[in-house]
Chains A and B, each alone.
Chain A
Amino acid sequence: MHVLVVDDQALNRSLLSVMLKQQGYQVTTANNGIEALAVIDSQSIDIVLLDVLMPEMDGYETAPKIKQRSEDVYLPIIFITSLEDKDSLEHCLAVGGDDFIHKPFDKVILTAKIKAHSRTRQLSLKAHEQNAQLEYHYNQTEREHEIVEHIFNNALENQNEFSNNIDFHLSPASMFNGDMLLVAQSPIGSLYCMLGDFTGHGLAAAVGALPASKVFYTMVNKGMAVNDIAHEVNTVLAKLLPGHMFCAATIIELSSSGKSISAWLGGLPDAYVIDQQGKVLKTLESQHMALGILDADEFERELIHFEVDNTTRIVLATDGIIETANDEDEYFGEQRFIQVLGSKTQVSCHDIIEQVTKFAKGSKQQDDLSLVLFNCLPVPSSKAEAETYSPLPFNFSLSLNSAQIKQTDPVLEVVDVITRVSGLKAHRSDIFLLLSEAYNNAVDHGLLGLDSDIKNHDDGFFEFYQQREAALASLQGAMIIIEIRYCPETLCLYFTICDSGNGFTSNNRGHSLAREHGRGLSLLEEIADYVSYNASGNQIEMRYKLT
């Protein structure tokens, strides 16, 4: 403990110094208020003994200035005074004094008072230190929450992109939501929506949303089916989450035309299919265990599949709604929920939440509460950015002998190579079709001389491919040449497929598309911009326009 003695009389200063040093205190002295403040500014002082009457700056003026300098921690000021009148003592207290010592000094009283105030000082120091620590941890937590919140926002919140299709309300019980709503569109345009409810609420419940969302978005991007997505999320969560945690979830997919729904339902309360008036057309009950419980090989993939139209709406909710309780411990429940859905035409999430809040009558929200109204409208497709066409002219040529024709099915491999040229990937299905039709025509009819008419018989289709296999096995001395040229000036692909056979006749052309064996060549002529056959019928040339 460091005591500052402030007195203009040298005798008092040395008397007090000696007494205090004997008690083991560190002592510093000052002649007046100005000197005292300078000491307090430069050294750490624990207790101040302050004379009232001093030149330069007296005790009354000094005391408030000392208190000002020590706002956070209690710094006791004990006035040294010979004054006895009540007014003076009151004045001392009013300016910030905490106690008095009367002259002449009584050693026992002085010691007792110093001890008492140093205890208080120590307590105050300790409290201050703990406060600082608390504040440090608080700030640290705040900062961490901010970072996590930022990550969550970036990872999860893209639901607003599809506001025509999706009306939703999410209200977490605490800062982090243990409910999760994910929405995304696949490359073929279908719209996916996943509503999940992790065990518990708060940050502990929310962490699972990060890996789950990553899996969801990745798989939607690949256009996977909802049960495949559920399977994958289940595998990831089963691996990551502690045993008592899981995620009840519903995943639905609306086709881009807005006409059909596939759904995987695992553990959430009933979902409802409603019409514009809110009448429940169908109740979708949960069919599976929640995600994150079963091993991958036990996982149940069964889906629900049904047709919808643009007036159909699907209502998804976590248990927060039906389990909202009022002050009489009564639950909102399914009956009230269904009633609210039908309370007006095109009920909105806002309308429903209003009713739920009214019911709760100010009772504290116990769990995360999420509600989704999914409108089955055709989904506007997101325009994927088109690859630019390569400015380089490419030529590709491939010559196959009998052995290679027997052993391989070269079409897909050729397509894979060709579509490496920038800009062609978007046309891969068409390129495949053209090559597949031309190549298989060359093999089936040019080299093997098979008769397509067989395909018209009962089960002839299957028989045809059995015959093909047999004929292919004994193929000898045959050859097929494939040439493909990419021309960046005309933005066309030129194909030539030539076989060593006797020539296929092109008299199937123009036949009704209803005839199965004619379909191939007719289709080819629709997809290609120009098709021609040589006179002997063993070579086909095609032009395909890329734009």
Chain B
Amino acid sequence: MSLSKTASADGTTLTIQIKGKFDFNLVQSFRQAYAEIGDKTAKVVIDLRETDYMDSSALGMLLNMKKTLGTSVDAIHISNCQPQLKKILQISRFDKKFDID
């Protein structure tokens, strides 16, 4: 379980990648990952390609992020979900609030 963040070359996209398990153990590091977001950042990508597991606490953390960032970013993408995780996001109607890819 770990979290890493990368800014794109032009600084407009922040990518947060979560490996393994996305649950309340990441509550602090996830919050920190977007806390000092720059003005230039227009898009946040939550890359779940290496995320095998998530539960409702992860959903809560994502909603918290959306609330915190508000309109300061244009879009929040949740990308590269494995099918079962995509199902969890869809059941929770997250497709209405996030761009899920």
Interface set of A (CB-CB < 8 Å, partner B): 186-188, 190, 222-225, 227, 255, 257, 259-260, 287, 301-305, 409, 412, 415, 427-430, 432-433, 436-437, 440, 455, 461-462, 465, 513, 516, 519-520, 523, 526-527
Residues of A contacting B61 with CB < 8 Å?
Answer: 461
User: Contact between A224 and B53 (Cβ–Cβ < 8 Å)?
Assistant: no
Q: Which listed residue, B43, B53, B83, touches A433 by the CB 8 Å rule?
A: B53
User: Contact between B82 and A437 (Cβ–Cβ < 8 Å)?
Assistant: no
Number of interface residues of B (CB under 8 A): 44
11 contacts between A and B (CB under 8 A): A225-B17, A225-B49, A259-B101, A302-B7, A303-B6, A305-B13, A305-B43, A461-B64, A462-B31, A513-B93, A523-B92
Residues of B contacting A259 with CB < 8 Å?
Answer: 101
Residues of A contacting B46 with CB < 8 Å?
Answer: none
Residues of A contacting B6 with CB < 8 Å?
Answer: 227, 301-303
Knowing A302-B6, A303-B15, A462-B28, the reply to whether A520 touches B55 (Cβ < 8 A) is yes
Q: How far is the CA of A255 from the CA of B99 in the complex (A)?
A: 13
Q: Determine the residue in chain A with the shortest Cβ distance to B51.
A: A429
Q: How far is the CA of A455 from the CA of B56 in the complex (A)?
A: 12
Q: Does B59 count as interface, using CB distance less than 8 angstroms?
A: yes
User: Contact between A287 and B83 (Cβ–Cβ < 8 Å)?
Assistant: no
Q: Determine the residue in chain B with the shortest Cβ distance to A187.
A: B82
Q: Determine the residue in chain A with the shortest Cβ distance to B68.
A: A459
1/0 per residue B62-101: CB within 8 Å of A?
Answer: 0110000000000001011111110010011100000001
Q: Which listed residue, B27, B49, B54, B81, touches A461 by the CB 8 Å rule?
A: B27
Q: How far is the CA of A225 from the CA of B4 in the complex (A)?
A: 12
Residues of A contacting B2 with CB < 8 Å?
Answer: none
Residues of B contacting A523 with CB < 8 Å?
Answer: 55-56, 59, 88, 91-92
Q: Determine the residue in chain B with the shortest Cβ distance to A227.
A: B6
User: Contact between B59 and A519 (Cβ–Cβ < 8 Å)?
Assistant: yes
Q: Determine the residue in chain B with the shortest Cβ distance to A460.
A: B64
A218 to chain B, nearest CB (A): 14
Besides A305-B8, A428-B84, A523-B88, 17 new A-B residue pairs in contact (Cβ under 8 A), listed by A number:
A223-B49, A223-B50, A224-B50, A225-B17, A225-B49, A255-B79, A259-B101, A301-B6, A430-B84, A432-B53, A455-B60, A461-B64, A462-B27, A462-B28, A513-B92, A523-B59, A523-B92
Residues of A contacting B13 with CB < 8 Å?
Answer: 303, 305
Q: How far is the CA of A176 from the CA of B92 in the complex (A)?
A: 53
User: Contact between B57 and A440 (Cβ–Cβ < 8 Å)?
Assistant: yes
User: Contact between B49 and A465 (Cβ–Cβ < 8 Å)?
Assistant: no
Interface set of B (CB-CB < 8 Å, partner A): 6-10, 13, 15, 17, 21, 23-25, 27-28, 31, 43, 45, 47, 49-50, 52-57, 59-61, 63-64, 77, 79-85, 88, 91-93, 101
Residues of B contacting A465 with CB < 8 Å?
Answer: 24, 27
User: Contact between B9 and A461 (Cβ–Cβ < 8 Å)?
Assistant: no
A457 to chain B, nearest CB (A): 11
User: Contact between A225 and B88 (Cβ–Cβ < 8 Å)?
Assistant: no
List 6 A-B pairs, minimum CB-CB distance, nearest first.
A429-B84, A520-B56, A302-B9, A436-B55, A432-B53, A519-B56
A418 to chain B, nearest CB (A): 13
User: Contact between B101 and A255 (Cβ–Cβ < 8 Å)?
Assistant: yes
Q: How far is the CA of A305 from the CA of B49 in the complex (A)?
A: 15
Residues of A contacting B21 with CB < 8 Å?
Answer: 412, 432
Q: Determine the residue in chain B with the shortest Cβ distance to A409.
A: B25
User: Contact between A260 and B27 (Cβ–Cβ < 8 Å)?
Assistant: no
User: Contact between A440 and B55 (Cβ–Cβ < 8 Å)?
Assistant: yes
Q: How far is the CA of A224 from the CA of B8 in the complex (A)?
A: 17
Q: Which listed residue, A260, A303, A415, A516, touches B8 by the CB 8 Å rule?
A: A303
Q: Determine the residue in chain B with the shortest Cβ distance to A412.
A: B21
User: Contact between A437 and B55 (Cβ–Cβ < 8 Å)?
Assistant: yes
A40 to chain B, nearest CB (A): 77
Q: How far is the CA of A271 from the CA of B68 in the complex (A)?
A: 37
Residues of B contacting A430 with CB < 8 Å?
Answer: 84
Q: How far is the CA of A462 from the CA of B77 in the complex (A)?
A: 23
User: Contact between B53 and A415 (Cβ–Cβ < 8 Å)?
Assistant: yes
B58 to chain A, nearest CB (A): 10
Knowing A303-B15, A523-B91, the reply to whether A432 touches B79 (Cβ < 8 A) is no
Residues of A contacting B84 with CB < 8 Å?
Answer: 427-430
Q: How far is the CA of A428 from the CA of B83 in the complex (A)?
A: 11
User: Contact between B56 and A188 (Cβ–Cβ < 8 Å)?
Assistant: no
Knowing A305-B13, A429-B82, A465-B24, the reply to whether A186 touches B49 (Cβ < 8 A) is yes
Residues of A contacting B57 with CB < 8 Å?
Answer: 440, 520
B42 to chain A, nearest CB (A): 11
Q: How far is the CA of A15 from the CA of B80 in the complex (A)?
A: 98
User: Contact between A433 and B88 (Cβ–Cβ < 8 Å)?
Assistant: yes
Q: How far is the CA of A461 from the CA of B61 in the complex (A)?
A: 8
User: Contact between A433 and B54 (Cβ–Cβ < 8 Å)?
Assistant: yes
